[in-house]
Structure 1
Amino acid sequence: MLPTGSADRVLSADDATATALFNCLVREVCAPDHQVWPRGGHLLIRLPRLDVLLRARLARPPLGFTYRLTAPYQELRAGSGEWAAVDWRRLAELVAGELELTTGQANPEFVEQVTASHTALAALLAARGPAAPPPPRRPAEDRDGVRPFARGSRPALTGDDRCAVYLASEQSLVAGHRFHPSPKARQGKPEEWLPYAPEAGARFPLRWLAVREEVFAEGGDAAGFAALEALAPPPPPGHRLLPAHPWQLSLLAGRPVLRRALESGLLVDLGQGGPEAVPTSSVRTLYVPAADVFCKFSLDMRITNCVRKNSWYELTGAVTLDRLLRPVFAELGERFGGCRLLPEPAYRSVHLADRRLHEGLGVILRGGVRALAGTPLVAAVLADPYGTGPVSVATLPCTADPDGALAWWARYVALVAPPALDAYLTHGVVLEPHLQNVVVAVDETGMPTQAAFRDLEGTKLVAGRWDAALAGLPGRVREALTYSAEQGWNRVVYCLLVNHLAEIAAAVADRHPRLEAELWRVLRECVADYARGRPGDARLRALLAGVPLPAKANLRVRWSRSADRAAGYIPVPNPLGTAPHDRAAPPRTPADAELIRRR
């Protein structure tokens, strides 16, 4: 069994679903309408169109724009003036009602999506079992009887130990995105997807297809798959190897073209075999430790927002970006702490008379993490308020005291922020440095040593700056690889500051509440130091002057059923401009005061 939560805050499907909905309401509905008030250890929010007042408990006084909310969630009953518990289902219905009145549009799928997410989370927690001591696979424990990075212990982790810690971090993100209304929504029944769920600790061998040369499709570096092929079943003569996700192959099994290809020998199903593959936090991307590579598969399955398939233009786009970004990251790595982009040098698929098979069997190869300078951790595990992973900010020995925590934070932001900003401003490259797209290597005390950025699907180029390099590509590929300058800047700032660094800062402040203002001051100094090398850059000046930050509107995207690429942004306060203000007594209109008094 895998652990389900820290001793101080146990994860439950009901509370995690309610928390995510409450967070979305605060950020995207109530705060923009100035309907949010911290009061007496609670956060009050009003749904102005429904005329409903809600509250949640504040875990600590708020600074910046990130609230730490916990159960109980309550609704003020009209007439009685008493607070009554409100569960996640009632919250989902209230969100739907408020958004319908706000937008003038209905979305009958919304409550169903929230329900699906709750069902999935409950199934994951049941599969993980009750809170328990760490399992035997935890690194260093078998040899030393201690947790990795535990205070007072400095085990010399081997490569296998570091890999085990890394995989535990990838598979521990049980609650998902804190600002998404249905972060664990998955198509299908739990019994269908649990065997492949990272949060349930899934591990399995790959499925292998042997593909006749004349229908074999590939792009990029043909030698990229060599390490993986060396561990696979041998193909028949005249065939090439294609790794497949066993779940995806079962989803495609009914395609007539696939059946005929298997019957004719164009494709040969070699079955499951070879080394163990481990699903990472994205579900469809598997890590193969024995080969130190990732395989990013298609899954014809809706997960959270969309069906997770590798479109034909994304296959070509990945290897194109890999080629174009190698010199960019060679320069960034020299300037900024050895930062890296995990490469995506090659893809493979099939050329059959069915585009869905070309996309559905397409796999993008991604380079591994063993060469990073320390123990790799997906950044999201550090910010997880439930502590479901092998490590978090709260368990690192180097953050035990305030001075150590500040030193840790200064090193962290220096590794992550300047390269992400410079990639955009100097090179016209839009990274997506959100919590799940950054892998941070740490030493044996937990001090950050290196940052690696990943996932070229979300990486874009600024339109107009790379036209010559993209000139020979099909129009759909060029379109998928580019953002406008404004789109790109909003994406970088959101992913870097709102999604990522604000959440890490909140985790540090959970351990040392008095540090929060100082954490933002340190981040401001880091950005200001970088800006000194770019005098006159209006975007950096605005950022440091406190222009509101863009927060991705996940709730409104789900409500409008828009593509993720079309997501809008909600402005949130920018603590980089000045020291964050204590919001214990924010200004409010007389009408707001009267509403609270009446109730």
Structure 2
Amino acid sequence: MAPDDRAASATLHSFLNCYLHEIGGHEVVNAAETPLVTDCKRGVRLPLPEQGIEVFVPLSYYSAGDRHLFGGPGVSVLPDGRAVDLDYLRLARLLLEELSLARDAPGAVDELLLRVVESCRNTARAVEARRGDEERLYGFETTFRDAEQSLVFGHHRHPTPKSRQGIAPHDEPRFAPELRGSFRLHYFRVAADLLDHDSTLDRSAPAWIADALRADESVPESFVAEHVDGDTDDGLVPVHPWQADYLLAQPAVRVRLGDGIESLGEVGREFYPTSSVRTLYSPDAPFMVKGSLNVKITNSARVNKRHELVRGVAVSELLDAGLRDVIDAEFPEFDLIDDPAYVTVDLGDGESGFETVLRENPFRGDAATNATPVVALCQNPIGGGRSRLGTIVETLAEREGRSAGAVAESWFRRYLSVGVRPVLWLYLRYGFGVEAHQQNSVVLLEDGYPTAFRYRDNQGYYFPESRYDRLDDFLPGVGERTDTVCGDDIADQRMIYWTVLNNALGVVSALGRSGLVDERRLLAVLREELESLREVDAPGSSLLDQLLAEPTLTRQSNLLTRFHDIDELDDSLDDAPLFVEVDNPLVTAFDGER
């Protein structure tokens, strides 16, 4: 399939699955009883009553978790009965127009359609660039860098998974992870009175940066002598090179050039953009760099807020105060990657754009082998093969002489035990909630099977009010410092979405779509795991009751967030448009059996 056609198919799948999952109103029908000309036995019928239109799309695989496979964009049947062939863009326009009319809200239809097209073009470029690289993308073995840079298609249920507003096309090969981008960090030398930093380590953030530069053999000795070892209290701030150009154009920065701020340019070892685009990794560096990037990626401009810098350090202190010991005693294969230090420039008016988190780098040397974000395992292939997870399970089945379904169940059980169970146990037992969606979840594989799990992200923590005292006992005042204490219902809602709907059910759908196992078999395993957590259920939480008994659940709506052009990371906004009710397959997939 040509890159443009493959990208159009991927765009159709991400957009339509997003719409059907979040908006609904459709039914699965016999394809022979529709206007479709298709080899598929089933189709999706989607009435658009505001326009008097019906849409029919061929369905080649039905997913209990609503990550379906389609046999093409289908047709629309007009009020006069004529059937009109669709492509991904015509279909997207029809669905967005229906959304606008039904909600009596114009939304940002034209802007969103533009981003759909942009996302599709970026996807086509990535498909073209990575054809022939299937072994690195989907092979049995991988490295942390290769896995982080393998997301050719991006978020599998988002209307614009590869939309990036701000990075010019000619800069994409350098800055896009899926194009295997790489670059050196841009450093600014900043006077001590302008530096703002903190650290839980035995050294300050500027000292950690200086030590890393001294140890980097690619840094010229003259640079170290002049800017690192000089007789001064100045500090160096590492910045993404795109952000450096952005900062150098800002009036508040320009006025301080030569007066407390000096741009030193790019220096040192190569860093690689990871799946988040703005978090940067180098296999030999002691830390990863998570800096601000004033680029709108999917739903939001990816900039660090000051309270997020403080939160990372405070959570690191909380873990060091005894919580990590508790976790390690119960789940030695589970850990949280620390964000123990930060540095920024204080220009006196909120965030300056220099905000930089220094994240622990546990993936150095051999530790980078087969460490992969879960989202990379579950992504569809660019060709006709299977996802990386599908490849792994198929290979294991051949090696072990077992059925693919049996191996898929074994793999999933191990994944639940090293990742999902510890996350939910920690939340229910200690009131420590994390946004463990697939991109924030790194699983370590050995001989193909999950053996350990690492959570990362200083933005995503939730401390439910009813159990906050358990965390305060470890580190008094940590809730105020992190600004993460919230109502139990809010915390439950977020944990259900990130950990179960996004993460665990995403793995279920990926295995099902690979044709290796019936999704209901894995859903039953997940129900069993959730039932076993009753032993640590918290009185203030309804999380387990909702997951095991409620036919619908609340999840973030990527489509409505994009439709209303809402920045999901803006804490000041009412989040009502961001969350919608969706079917709970842990209940609905077993209707009639209970």
Distance 1:43 1:148 in 2: 33
Distance 1:330 1:399 in 2: 37
1:362 maps to a residue whose letter is E
Q: CA deviation at 1:398?
A: 2.1
Give yes or no for the alignment of 1:282 onto 2:276. Answer: yes
Distance 1:18 1:582 in 2: 32
**Matched ranges for 1:133-532 at <5 A:** 133-134=132-133, 138=136, 148-149=139-140, 165-188=143-166, 189-221=168-200, 222-223=203-204, 225-226=208-209, 228-230=212-214, 231=216, 233-234=223-224, 235=227, 236-238=230-232, 239-264=234-259, 266-326=260-320, 327-357=322-352, 360-370=353-363, 375-386=370-381, 392-396=388-392, 397-398=395-396, 401-443=404-446, 445-463=447-465, 465-466=467-468, 479=483, 481-512=484-515, 514-532=517-535
Query: When the two structures are aligned, how many residues end up with a matched partner?
Result: 545
Distance 2:387 2:101 in 1: 43
Aligned to 1:590: none
**Is contact 2:191–2:235 with CA below 8 Å preserved after alignment?**
yes
* Secondary structure of 1:241's aligned partner: strand
Distance 1:353 1:544, change over 3 A: closer
- TM-score, L = length of structure 2: 0.83
**Is contact 1:56–1:70 with CA below 8 Å preserved after alignment?**
yes
- Structure 1 stretch 546-555 or stretch 423-432: which is displaced more? 546-555
**Is contact 1:398–1:405 with CA below 8 Å preserved after alignment?**
no
1:460 maps to a residue whose letter is Y
1:360-379, Cα deviation, whole Å (9 max, x unpaired): 11100111232759620110
* Secondary structure of 2:463's aligned partner: strand
1:174-196, Cα deviation, whole Å (9 max, x unpaired): 22222221222221332244421
RMSD of aligned residue pairs (Cα, Å): 3.2
* Secondary structure of 1:562's aligned partner: coil
Aligned to 1:595: none
**Is contact 1:65–1:572 with CA below 8 Å preserved after alignment?**
no
Distance 1:390 1:364 in 2: 36
Distance 1:180 1:124, change over 3 A: closer
- Structure 1 stretch 279-288 or stretch 333-342: which is displaced more? 333-342
**Is contact 1:435–1:499 with CA below 8 Å preserved after alignment?**
yes
**Is contact 1:92–1:111 with CA below 8 Å preserved after alignment?**
no
1:90-120, Cα deviation, whole Å (9 max, x unpaired): 223222221222222112x333233224324
Aligned to 1:115: 114
Give yes or no for the alignment of 1:23 onto 2:2. Answer: no
Distance 1:535 1:498, change over 3 A: closer
Distance 2:588 2:47 in 1: 28
Structure 1: gaps (5+ residues)? 1-6, 140-146, 151-161, 584-599
Distance 1:414 1:431 in 2: 17
1:30 maps to a residue whose letter is G
Distance 1:451 1:422 in 2: 14
Give yes or no for the alignment of 1:569 onto 2:579. Answer: yes
1:142-190, Cα deviation, whole Å (9 max, x unpaired): xxxxx8527xxxxxxxxxxx6xx22121112122222221222221332
Aligned to 2:549: 545
1:424-456, Cα deviation, whole Å (9 max, x unpaired): 21222221111101000001x311111111111
- TM-score, L = length of structure 1: 0.83
2:396 maps to a residue whose letter is C
* Secondary structure of 1:59's aligned partner: strand
Q: CA deviation at 1:390?
A: 11
**Is contact 1:168–1:390 with CA below 8 Å preserved after alignment?**
no
1:205 maps to a residue whose letter is R
Q: CA deviation at 1:247?
A: 0.5
Distance 1:250 1:374, change over 3 A: closer
Distance 1:10 1:496 in 2: 34
Distance 1:275 1:135, change over 3 A: farther
* Secondary structure of 1:12's aligned partner: helix
* Secondary structure of 1:411's aligned partner: helix
- Structure 1 stretch 393-402 or stretch 485-494: which is displaced more? 393-402
Aligned to 2:564: 560
1:184-233, Cα deviation, whole Å (9 max, x unpaired): 22213322444211122110111112222222221123445355333254
Distance 1:552 1:487, change over 3 A: same
Aligned to 1:41: 42
Q: CA deviation at 1:559?
A: 2.3
Distance 2:291 2:152 in 1: 21
Distance 1:390 1:376, change over 3 A: farther
1:272-320, Cα deviation, whole Å (9 max, x unpaired): 1111100011111111211142111101222111111112222212211
Aligned to 1:158: none
Distance 2:134 2:330 in 1: 40
* Secondary structure of 1:532's aligned partner: helix
Distance 1:216 1:331, change over 3 A: same
**Is contact 2:196–2:343 with CA below 8 Å preserved after alignment?**
yes
Distance 1:9 1:512 in 2: 24
Aligned to 1:144: none
**Matched ranges for 1:7-156 at <5 A:** 12-31=6-25, 35-39=26-30, 40-60=41-61, 62-78=62-78, 81=81, 83-107=83-107, 109-126=108-125, 129=128, 132-134=131-133, 138=136, 148-149=139-140
Q: CA deviation at 1:539?
A: 3.4
1:111 maps to a residue whose letter is D
1:26-58, Cα deviation, whole Å (9 max, x unpaired): 112224xxx322433222222233232222232
Distance 1:464 1:249 in 2: 43
Q: CA deviation at 1:508?
A: 1.2
1:290 maps to a residue whose letter is D
Distance 1:535 1:423 in 2: 11
2:314 maps to a residue whose letter is T
* Secondary structure of 2:585's aligned partner: coil
Distance 1:111 1:330 in 2: 52
2:449 maps to a residue whose letter is M
**Is contact 2:301–2:567 with CA below 8 Å preserved after alignment?**
no
* Secondary structure of 1:129's aligned partner: helix
1:75 maps to a residue whose letter is V
**Is contact 1:180–1:554 with CA below 8 Å preserved after alignment?**
yes
1:376-416, Cα deviation, whole Å (9 max, x unpaired): 01100111123589971111122552222211111112222
Structure 2: gaps (5+ residues)? 31-40, 399-403, 570-574
| Structure with the larger RCO, 1 or 2 (CA within 8 Å, 6+ apart) | 1
Distance 1:130 1:562 in 2: 32
